[in-house]
Each structure stands twice: as C-alpha cells, then as structure tokens.
Amino acid sequence: MGKVICVANQKGGVGKTATANNIATSFALEGKQVLVVDLDSLCTLTKANGYDPAKFETSVASVLENPQKVGQAIYESDIEGLSFIPSSPMLDALELTLISKKDKYARLKKALDKVKPIFDYIVLDCTPSLSTFNINALVAADYLVVPAETKYQSDFSLEVFLSTFETMKSTLNPNLKLLGVVATMFNGQANEDKEVLAEIQSKYNLLGVIKRTTAVSSSVKKGKPCVVANRRTVVAQEYREITRKIMKMVEE
Ligand SMILES: Nc1ncnc2c1ncn2[C@@H]1O[C@H](COP(=O)(O)OP(=O)(O)OP(=O)(O)O)[C@@H](O)[C@H]1O
Ligand SMILES: [Mg+2]
C-alpha cells in the first residue's frame, strides 16, 4: 500500500513546493511508483514541472468534487515512475461549495485510498494556510514533513503548525506521524541561519538542510525539479539524501 506524505507548514514561501516536488521526483528516481498532488490553486507545483494547468480537463478540484473519479485526474509525467494530479485555479471556488458537505475533510482520503495500491508513495503539496484542502491533506496523510526556513520567525510558525499537527492527531487523524523538519534556504554565512538551524536541530528530527541557491529557481525555469534539472548540485544531492532517509524511516 502506498504511503501518503504531506508536505506542509502554515507559513508561506518556506520551500514546501520545492521540497514536495524534489522528494516526489527523488522517490521515482529510486525506482518507486509515485503520485504527487498539487493542492495549491496557484498551481505552483504543476507549473514548476513545465505543465500549463489550463491544458488539463481534470484536476485536484475534480477529485475533491468526485473522489470516485480520481483515476481520471492522474496524469503520467515524463519522468519514469512519476504521475501527478495537477491543480486548478477553480479550486478556491470549490471550497465554498464543499463547506456544507458532511465529508468535506475526508474527500481526498477517499480518493487516495482508491489508488494507494498502485503507488509506493503519494506526496501532497499544501498551501500556506489551514484551508479545507490542507485539512483534507492532513486527514489523508500517513506522514508529515515540515519545511522551515532558517530565519528567526520560523521558530514561532513551526510551534504553531506543530500544535495544529497535535490537534489533527487527537481529532481527525490519529495515525498521522511527524517524520521531521527540512531546514530550507539555509545561508551558512549568516549567524541568524546558524542559530535557527541549531534551534530546529535541538527540538525536532532534522531530516536535512537545503542551502539557499539559485539552482532551485533555475530549475523552476527549466520546468523540472532540481533533482532532474540541476542534478549535480549540492541541493539536488541533499534532496536525494533526505528522500533516502525518509524511505528508511517509513519502510522499516
Ligand atoms: N533552497 C532554495 N534556495 C533558493 N530559493 C528557493 C529555495 N527553495 C525554494 N526557493 C524559492 O523560494 C520561493 C518559494 O519556494 P516554494 O514555492 O517552494 O515555497 P512554498 O512554501 O511552497 O511557497 P507557498 O507558501 O507560496 O506555497 C520560490 O521562488 C522558490 O523557487
Ligand atoms: Mg507552494
């Protein structure tokens, strides 16, 4: 059965999409069958893989509307073993229509339960909020990975988000496990970054450290994640290493 990994943090711009995309692709490079799901109406992950969201007839919005039809929203990428569910700008409008539904938080789980047998890993890229969609992701997930920038404000947002995680565990998803934190956009020359990294390391399981580098934005321009577009860079190697660490943790 596929393992569902949610990449989330309520704070914006901390490298969630870069982490979800590089980890999902790295699982595929390790020979796994992988599904990556874009849950952001801005379609950041879909576009970072070189795809135009307007070209897809079905998307994560159709999955949330009708979980039974999840198969129709899964597309094969041009990376072997990697499939994806694109997002859609229609997603935000859907939130209003879902609000009155009894199963509004369980829809993604219903959909993913149907396809879990055909994937080894399902990776969910969340938005920086606690929207209906992110709650759907936290309900559907087995594991949580939290990217956090090595900046002073990260400490507080990590605490806020991890209290959300505890609430999820005690309410909607008792099976959710925290794998750890990925420190992102690390600048080894800055005292702030070094202090915050030490703080993160003392409090949480640190999965890895991703340096601040233009390799990430240049790979977005190339329409493929770093681990493919800039695979010889330090950041690509680190994402591969983090992925292997996660595989060890969840396959034990
Ligand atoms: N290691 C890095 N070094 C430099 N830039 C990075 C790095 N990781 C991500 N970025 C850039 O920072 C920006 C935010 O990254 P990303 O989109 O992954 O964050 P996010 O947490 O998903 O944002 P949002 O909250 O808007 O969904 C993007 O422009 C991305 O290219
Ligand atoms: Mg994002």
pLDDT score, position 204 = 96
pLDDT score, position 129 = 87
Alpha carbon of 247 to ligand 2 centroid (Å): 23
pLDDT score, position 75 = 98
16, 21, 153, 187: which to mutate for ligand 1, most atoms within 8 A of CB? 16
pLDDT score, position 175 = 95
Task: Return the residue whose CA atom lies nearest to atom 18 of ligand 1.
Answer: 15
CATH for 162: 3.40.50.300
39, 217, 220, 226: which to mutate for ligand 1, most atoms within 8 A of CB? 217
Alpha carbon of 181 to ligand 2 centroid (Å): 16
pLDDT score, position 126 = 96
Domain that holds residue 52: 3-251
Alpha carbon of 37 to ligand 2 centroid (Å): 12
For the chain, list residues with pLDDT below 50.
none
pLDDT score, position 96 = 87
Work out which ligand 1 atom sits closest to the CA atom of 184. 1
Alpha carbon of 145 to ligand 2 centroid (Å): 14
Alpha carbon of 226 to ligand 1 centroid (Å): 12
Q: How many domains does the chain have?
A: 1
**Cα dist from 28 to 23, 51, 140, whole Å:** 9, 18, 21
* 5 close to 28: Cβ distance less than 8 angstroms: no
Give me the chain's average pLDDT, please.
96
Work out which ligand 1 atom sits closest to the CA atom of 217. 31
Task: Return the residue whose CA atom lies nearest to atom 25 of ligand 1.
Answer: 12
How many Å apart are CA 144 and CA 124, to the nearest integer? 10
Alpha carbon of 126 to ligand 2 centroid (Å): 6
Q: Which ligand is nearest to the CA of 233?
A: 1
Work out which ligand 1 atom sits closest to the CA atom of 125. 22
pTM of the model: 0.98
